[in-house]
Structure 1
Amino acid sequence: MQQQVVLFAIVISFLITVLLSPIFIPFLRRLKFGQSIREEGPQSHLKKTGTPTMGGLMILLAVVVTTLIITGRYAEASVETYLLLFVTVGYGLLGFLDDFIKVVLKRNLGLTSLQKLIGQIVIAVVFYFVFTQFEFSTAVSIPGTDLSFELGIFYVVFLIFWLVGFSNAVNLTDGLDGLVSGTAAIAFGAFAVLAWNQSQFEVSIFSVAVVGALLGFLVFNAHPAKVFMGDTGSLALGGAIATVAVLLKLEIILIIIGGVFVLETLSVIIQVISFKTTGRRIFKMSPLHHHYELVGWSEWRVVVSFWTVGLLCAVLGIYLEVWI
């Protein structure tokens, strides 16, 4: 029965996104909610200027509606469910505000880094407060070992770093048609398997709801993209996957399953440090996906290659958690 419910969740979420997109995309176009392309980015991306953005709203709607319907009908919505929805919607609203400033107020950079950071930290702190009120574990385990470290009150620092870090990591990865849609779907699929393995049914439902929404969105986001998810989608997805890992106590496993997001972030950090200390750039452009574009790879080749790496990372993460 539970297997059928999980399958039902992914189908509902997929259908909501697929059926909503043909209505929502023209609506965004009429409102002139088109993406502004950075002038310093690859020149091939300039043709994407004006492509509707804020498509992450469709993903959020599909995930929230599916999660509430399925848990309400087949399970009892738990504190885990509400925590997942709180962080996902919270980071999604923060991303929506950023997108709104970019596309409506015509400020290409959106929220300032400080404004965005404050919003991310506030959501993480509220999450921590509720998290500790329900006496969830504040220990962090090392995969493949029996070692764990009880962080106590310092877990709030870890939690802020994790949620802020991964929301920004997914946001950095969102630079090519279908890149985040595919890699995030793979990562959430892996966590759905791990949640099922832990008998955390509600977390598994949420995770497959995200997978379904992303696959539905990918129908319109694959190259050439008819819509972008914007920060509305990428910040929400990053916060959501970090929250899933925290609730499953698989925080470190996220580094492996979310390997593509980690590599993209490291490429930016390495590029900045190298340029500031030596005046040289390690990559032709960061994040990493732009480097491969500038060495001659087609956009589709980069995306499929990154999906493949993401799949290998997901398999490795599941293997380390389930079989070791």
Structure 2
Amino acid sequence: MIYLPLLSFILSFKLTRFIINKFRDVKFGYDLHKKDKVRVPEMCGLAPVLSSSLFISILNPIYSVVILSTSIIGVLDDIAKLSPKEKMFLLFILAIIIGLAFYKLEGLSLTLLIILIFLYPIFSNLTNMLAGFNGLEAGLAFLSSFFLSIIFLLSNNFNAFLITLTFSTSYLAFLYFNKYPAKAFPGDCGTLPIGAFLVSIAIVNKALTYLFIIMLPYFIDASLKYISAGVMSRDQHKPTVLGEDNRLYYKGGYLSLPRLILKYKPMNEKDIVLTIWLIEVIFGLLSILIKVFS
């Protein structure tokens, strides 16, 4: 079974290239942080979703259901533009169904069932919010799931390690096309399943504390947005300002983790993404250190 992460990487890579060609003129968005507004195919996150769920189903099909069903809500959001309330409601209903499946089939305790139902829509939305820059979502998906897989390996939980690593490698392959300058956007169908999968496998395998540490950049970003703007609608998600020097500037409006950094140090798109990746690496390594010395 050790080959599954590699197969997931290969299939995700090939599927992404296929979807790019199919969606190029059908479902696309504009790269807002470029001087020339380039059209980029959207919903290409279906590639890592399909590839990871296929191979994860060999190890535990419930996690494949988690990934696919949450991605379906993302597809609805990408096409129909759901409101924040509509999206959270659908995620909450799905959380109940998924939680009951784990309760019946995996022997999840009642306490953990309640925690899963509560956190499922929150974590799913977190990984959908820290976004908007080339490579940011895919890179964070790879890093957060990779660090969680190491936590499982250190816990001698080889099955959870393989499942999480298989998920991680699918997003690593997608990152090749999503990195600057992006040739593919993940869409909500690719970002919503990230948090849903991570919180599900962390709760079932009793690694939630470590996941909280790994995902602290997401919590910081969401907290800044909520404190500065409350619950924002889609049309309030305005891009940062691109200067003549090709650096991004914060010029007021709501705060987020990227905007907070740009407020004090303007930088180009590649550098702001690398900075946030580095922050994620720091928290990921912190989780591993705590695991090792606990």
Q: Which residue of 2 is the match for residue 288 of structure 1?
A: 257
**Shift in alpha-carbon separation, 1:44–1:133, aligned structure 2, 3 A:** closer
Distance in 1, Cα, partners of 2:66 & 2:34: 31
Query: How far did residue 49 of structure 1 move?
Result: 5.7
Distance in 2, Cα, partners of 1:208 & 1:135: 20
Q: What does residue range 252-263 of structure 1 map to in structure 2 within 5 Å?
A: 252-263=209-220
Which letter does structure 1 place at the counterpart of 2:292?
Answer: V
Query: How far did residue 284 of structure 1 move?
Result: 4.8
Residue 272 (structure 2) pairs with residue 302 (structure 1): yes
Distance in 2, Cα, partners of 1:132 & 1:257: 25
Asked if the contact 1:34/1:49 (under 8 Å) is kept, the reply is no
Residue 282 (structure 2) pairs with residue 312 (structure 1): yes
Distance in 2, Cα, partners of 1:63 & 1:242: 16
Match of 1:64 among 53, 60, 82: 53
Asked if the contact 1:270/1:282 (under 8 Å) is kept, the reply is no
Asked if the contact 1:94/1:116 (under 8 Å) is kept, the reply is yes
Which letter does structure 1 place at the counterpart of 2:225?
Answer: V
Q: What does residue range 220-299 of structure 1 map to in structure 2 within 5 Å?
A: 220-272=177-229, 284-293=253-262, 296-299=266-269
Q: Which residue of 2 is the match for residue 95 of structure 1?
A: 74
CA RMSD of the aligned region, Å?
2.6
Which letter does structure 2 place at the counterpart of 1:127?
Answer: I
DSSP-derived class of the 2:165 partner: helix
Q: Which residue of 1 is the match for residue 154 of structure 2?
A: 197
Distance in 1, Cα, partners of 2:252 & 2:117: 29
Q: Which residue of 2 is the match for residue 14 of structure 1?
A: 9
TM-score (normalizing by structure 1): 0.78
Q: What does residue range 26-37 of structure 1 map to in structure 2 within 5 Å?
A: 26-31=21-26, 33-35=27-29
Flag the structure with larger Rg: 1
Which letter does structure 2 place at the counterpart of 1:30?
Answer: D
Number of aligned pairs? 276
Match of 2:18 among 12, 23, 46: 23
Q: Which residue of 2 is the match for residue 207 of structure 1?
A: 164
Q: Percent of counterpart pairs with the same letter? A: 22
Asked if the contact 1:175/1:289 (under 8 Å) is kept, the reply is no
TM-score (normalizing by structure 2): 0.85
Q: Which residue of 1 is the match for residue 93 of structure 2?
A: 122
Asked if the contact 2:135/2:180 (under 8 Å) is kept, the reply is yes
Query: How far did residue 55 of structure 1 move?
Result: 0.8
Query: How far did residue 47 of structure 1 move?
Result: 4.4
Query: How far did residue 169 of structure 1 move?
Result: 0.6
Deviations 1:116-164 (A, max 9, x none): 11210111111221222246454xxxxxxxxxxxxx45x4442233111
Asked if the contact 2:53/2:63 (under 8 Å) is kept, the reply is no
Query: Structure 1, unaligned stretches of length 5 or more?
Result: 38-42, 72-76, 102-109, 139-151, 276-280
Asked if the contact 2:49/2:71 (under 8 Å) is kept, the reply is yes
Q: What does residue range 120-199 of structure 1 map to in structure 2 within 5 Å?
A: 120-134=91-105, 136-138=107-109, 152=110, 155-199=112-156
Distance in 1, Cα, partners of 2:116 & 2:251: 31
Moved more, 162-171 or 9-18: 9-18
**Shift in alpha-carbon separation, 1:67–1:130, aligned structure 2, 3 A:** closer
Q: Which residue of 1 is the match for residue 83 of structure 2?
A: 112
Deviations 1:54-95 (A, max 9, x none): 011101111022223xx3xxxxx4xxx222112111111100
Query: Structure 2, unaligned stretches of length 5 or more?
Result: 233-249
DSSP-derived class of the 1:51 partner: strand
Distance in 1, Cα, partners of 2:38 & 2:261: 21
Distance in 1, Cα, partners of 2:83 & 2:136: 25
Distance in 2, Cα, partners of 1:66 & 1:16: 10
Distance in 1, Cα, partners of 2:189 & 2:87: 12
**Shift in alpha-carbon separation, 1:203–1:252, aligned structure 2, 3 A:** same
DSSP-derived class of the 1:55 partner: coil
Deviations 1:11-67 (A, max 9, x none): 211111222222220210132x01267xxxxx6358456311101110111102222
DSSP-derived class of the 1:30 partner: coil
